[in-house]
Amino acid sequence: MGSYIVKRILVSVPLLLIISFLTFVLINLSPLDPAEVVLQAQGVPEITEELLEQTKEELGLDKPFILRYFDWFISSLQLDFGESYINGKPVWSLIGPAFLNTLKLTLISSIAIIFMSILLGVTCALKEGQVIDKSIRGFSFVLTAMPSYWLATIMIWYVSVKLDLLPTSGMVSYSSYILPVIVITISYAGIYFRNIRSSMLNNLNEDYVLYGRASGLPEKKITMHILRNSLQVSISIFGMAIPIILGSTVVIENVFAWPGLGSLSVKAILGRDFPIIQAYVLILAAAFVLFNTISDIINAFMNPKLRNDL
Amino acid sequence: MRILRNLSRDRLATISLLIIAVTIIAGIFAPLFAPFDPNEINMSLRYASPSWEHLLGNDHLGRCILSRIIYGIRPSVLWVLVVLFISVLAGAILGFLAGYFRGKIDAIIMRICDTMLSFPGYVMALAVIGILGVGLENILIAFALIKWAWFARVIRTSVMQYAELDYVKFSKATGISDFKIIFKHIVPVTFSDIAVISSGSIGSMILQISGFSFLGLGIQAPNPEWGMMLNEAREVMFTRPELMLAPGLAIVIVVSAFNFLSDSLQVALDPKLVISKNKYKENSPYSAVKVREKEVAN
C-alpha cells in the first residue's frame, strides 16, 4: 500500500508540470497582445508604439518565452500570479477567497449528493422493478436533461421571489447555500444514484446473500451486508464528484451570484484579464489532479486489486 | 435493419427518434418553418402573450419566440452535432491507431489523452474561450478540443477487444493489409460501440454548450440561441417569468429525447440485452466498454 501511494504521487508530479506548461502556452497563444490589453483596460486613450514597448518591458514580455515560463512557474509556486490587468490588484488576493468559496460550495454539495445518491440508490435497488423504482428512475431521467441554470432560475423565482423564503443570490448567510446546493445535488445525484443502484443489484446476486438467506439471517442484516459492500462505489463517486463539481459550478455560481471562481473567471474572460484566467486554470487543474490522486489512493485502500494498476 | 426493428419495438425510442428528426429538419430548413424573421423587432408586440399568429408569444423586443426557437436549433443542436461528429472522428482515428497497432504509437497517444483528461473539461473549455474570445465558433472549437481524448480512449478499449480475436489474427497471417483489416473487420464490429458512446454524450454536450451561451460567452445578440434566450429571459424573470418556459422546455425535450434514444440504442445494438432487458448480470461479457459518459452533467 505504501509503495502504491508513493508511486501514485510520483505519477501526478510530472502531470502537474505538464499542466502548468500547457496553461502558460495556451495563454501565450492568444492572438491579442497582452500589452495592448493592459493599456486598453487602463483606459489609455491613445496607444502608441513607445507606450506598447514600455508596457511590454514593465510586464517582462520582452524576455524569451522559456525564461518567462520559469519566472511565472516559480512565482506561481509562491502563489504570486501577478496582477490583474483590469484593476491592478494581485491575482491571488482575488482568486484565493473565491477558491475557498467555491470549495465550500463543492464540499457541501458533494455531501448532499452522496446522501441523496445512497438514499435513492438503495431504495431503488431494494424495490427493483416496482413502481417506486421505476418512477424515481424516470423522474431522474428528466431531471438530468434539465439545464441546471434553468432549474436554478426557476427555483430563485419560486422560492426566493414568490415565497420569499431564501436569499436570491450572493453568499450572505448559511441559508444562501440551500438553493445552489439543491440545484447541484439534483443535477448530479440523478446520475450517481444509478451507480449505487446497480452496485447493490450486483451484490444481491452474490453467493453470500444466498448463503445468508439459506442460514436464516434476517432480511435486515442481509441488507446491511449488501450495503457495506456497495458503499465502496459511493466512496469512489465521492472522489470523482468533487473535482468535477469544482470545475463545473461556473454556471450555477453565475446564476446565484456566488462570489466564487466561476463568477470570477467569467468576468475575467469577458474582460480578457489573462493573469486571472491563467491562475484559474492552473489552480483548478492542480486541485483536479490532487483530488483524483486522493480518490485513487482511497480506492486502492478499499480494493487491493487496484493496487497493481500502476 | 435489425437495429431499426429492435428500436421500433421500443415505443419511447420511436418517439425520441421522431422528436430528434423533426428538430433536425426544422433546424436545417428554419426559414421555411419559422413563421417570422427571428430578429424582426416589433415594439408594439412587446411581451405579447401567445396568439394564433405568434404561437409562443413575443419577447422583450417583440420578436416572435417560436421563430427564435426554430432558428435557435441551429446553434443549440445542429452545431453541437457537428462538433460531436468531428471529435468522434478524431477520437476514432486515434483510438483505432492506438488500439490496433499498440506498441509505441499506443503509448504516445494514451499519454496525450491522459494529460488531456487530467484537465477538468469545463475549465479547459473556459480557458480556450478566454484565449480566443467569446463567440459560438470558439465554444465549438473548445469542445472539439476537450472531447476527442475521451472518445479516443473509449474507442481504443473497444478496438482492443476485437483486435485480439482469432479471425483478425488469421487475416493478418494471410497477409491482408492492416487498413483492409481495420475497415473490413474492425470498423463494422466496433461501430455499435461508437454509436452508443457518441449518442450518450450528445445530451450533456447540448446542456454544456447552451450553458456557456447562457453565461454570455457564446453566440452574440441578436442571433437566437436557446441558452441565450434564457439569459435574456432571466433579466425580466421577476416580472415575466413565463419567458423562461419555451427555451427551457425546448432544451429539456431535445436532451431527454437524445438520452432516451441513446439508452434504447444500447439495448437495440446488443442482442443479449434485448432478450434479458435489464436482467443481465455484471459478469456476463456484454461489452467491455463503459458506454455512458457521466463525466460532467451541466
Q: What is the pLDDT of residue B292?
A: 39
Q: Which three cell numbers stand for residue B271?
A: 442482442
Q: What is the pLDDT of residue B23?
A: 94
> Among all residues of chain A, which has the CA nearest to that of B230?
A150
Query: Could you tell me the fold of the domain covering B2-297?
Result: MetI-like fold (1.10.3720)
Peptide bond into A304 cis (omega under 30): no
Average pLDDT value for chain B = 82
CB of A257 less than 8 A from some CB of B: no
Q: Where are the domains of chain B?
A: 2-297
Residue A128 lies in a domain: yes
Between residues B270 and A8, which one has the greater pLDDT?
A: A8
State the total domains in chain A.
Answer: 1
Q: What is the pLDDT of residue B289?
A: 41
- pTM recorded for the entire structure: 0.84
| Digit-coded pLDDT (tens) for B214-256 | 988 888 878 889 999 998 888 887 788 888 888 999 999 999 9
Residue A224 lies in a domain: yes
| Digit-coded pLDDT (tens) for A58-98 | 777 777 788 888 888 888 888 888 888 878 888 889 999 99
Q: What is the pLDDT of residue B296?
A: 40
CATH number (domain holding residue A115): 1.10.3720
Q: What is the pLDDT of residue A290?
A: 86
Contact across the interface for B203 and A145, Cβ inside 8 Å: yes
Q: Do residues B296 and A188 lie in contact, with contact meaning Cβ atoms separated by under 8 Å?
A: no
- Cα gap A244→B298, rounded to integer Å: 10
CB of A26 less than 8 A from some CB of B: yes
> Among all residues of chain A, which has the CA nearest to that of B111?
A15
List the beta strands (DSSP E) in B158-287: none
Residue A18 lies in a domain: no
Contact across the interface for B126 and A285, Cβ inside 8 Å: no
Angle at which helices B65-73 and B245-269 cross, to 10°: 30
Range of the domain at A172: 104-261+286-308
ipTM: 0.82
Interface of A with B in 175-204 (CB under 8 A): 187-188, 190-192, 198, 202
Residue A234 lies in a domain: yes
The closest CB to that of A145, out of B234, B241, B259, belongs to B259
The average pLDDT across B178-187 equals: 88
Residue A114 lies in a domain: yes
- At B111, the amino acid letter reads R
Q: What is the pLDDT of residue B278?
A: 45
For residue A278, pLDDT beyond 90: no
For residue B277, pLDDT beyond 60: no
Hey, of A15, A91, A149, A294, which one would you mutate to test binding to chain B, going by the most B CBs within 10 A of its CB? A149
For residue B282, pLDDT beyond 60: no
Contact across the interface for B120 and A22, Cβ inside 8 Å: no
| Digit-coded pLDDT (tens) for A130-178 | 899 889 888 888 888 888 889 988 888 888 877 877 777 777 778 888 8
For residue B132, pLDDT beyond 60: yes
Count CB-CB contacts under 10 A for residue A164: 9
